Amino acid sequence: MEDSSFEFLKRLLDAPGPSGFEVVPARIWREEAERITGRVEADVAGNSAATLNPGGSPHVMLAGHIDEIGLMVTHVDDDGFLYFDGIGGWDPQVLVAQRIRVLTRRGEVLGVVGKKPIHLLKGDEKEKAAKVTDLWIDVGARSLAEAAERGIRVGDPAVVDARLVELGNGLIASRSVDNRIGAFIVLEALRLLQDGPAFGAQVTAAATTQEEIGFSGGGARVSAYTLDPQVALVVDVSFATDSPGIEKKEIGSHRLGGGPILARGSAIHPLVFERLAETAEAEGIPYTIQANPRHTATDADGIYLSRAGVATGVVSIPNRYMHSPNEVVSLDDLTAAARLIAAFCRGLRGGDEFVPR
């Protein structure tokens, strides 16, 4: 990966932007997109889009959601402690003792997640898993009034303060990997297209919002309706199965560094899947296949039924420790996914047929 691309990735991952509050990472994405395409657009749902070769055919949408899971302040007590609920799906165990960035109208306020010490737990309390209701955020305020003076209000979002670190062997760990790396990859694919040979398709990269709370597409439904593509590739993460305790018989064999994962089933258009697989093989890009017999739990679930229907595929990155402050992925997989997507788009021609026969 080029140094400039890695620096962009780091800025994107470190920026706080839980679902519904994606302004900061979206701004970073649009600034980078403008360097590539010269023009970017945004909609009322917060989605951002950048296009190459406007007027080309077919029109391809590359979607990666830019939101992340986070927290929201639900109550501030008289002693200045903040109580919260999750934005998106959390295992409360990973929140215990984490440092937190509370995003207020006056800027970020740092805090820590508090919990009763193990020494003071009674009987079977020690054996019980912590619930969100057992936790609070301590920002060092001594009263409700002092918390308010710092700009803290009910409804303020927050993220865990876990920034990108390099682990070695091309692996990185960070919060917001799910799925800010999807937004990163679709823009890297645009960069590869811009720097390569001419191509016929109109290609729009979209950094979509609210996927973690949307259940059937979130902001991607708005973006797909607005852009009206004929083909869409959704880039997200899926479970790496190369760490202890993961059952490969349930979700397949997917390892870090083993290349992107191509989804089959449900919202996945069979012709798009086959074309992705053929492209990967022609380009020498390793990949694995994941079965999705029902929904994909990605933006694809909202995109493929947009308007008259969109021929949709899903390209995923193997991810260890999903929905935690330290999600781990391989930079090689990010690069391979961007190469695959760019090659797929370059191979499209006006008049390509996506109606199954």
Return the active site residues.
211
Tokens of 68: 């992340």
Specify the pairing of strand 311-319 against strand 231-239: parallel
Is the peptide bond between 58 and the residue preceding it cis, with omega within 30 degrees of 0? yes
Contact 187, 338 (CB under 8 A): no
Q: At what angle do helices 331-346 and 177-195 cross, to 10 degrees?
A: 50
Which residue matches tokens 């992925």? 329
Nearest to 224 by CA among 115, 325, 314, 302: 302
Nearest to 306 by CA among 209, 228, 253, 189: 228
Give the Å distances, CA to CA, from 115 to 4, 109, 153: 41, 19, 21
End-to-end alpha-carbon separation of the chain, Å? 40
Q: What is the DSSP string of 34-87?
A: HHHHS-EEE-TT--EEEEESTT-SSEEEEEEE--B-EEEEEEE-TTS-EEEEEE
DSSP conformational letter for 170: T
Q: Is 111 helix (H, G, I), strand (E, B) or coil?
A: strand
Which residue matches tokens 């055919």? 57
Residues written for the chain: 357
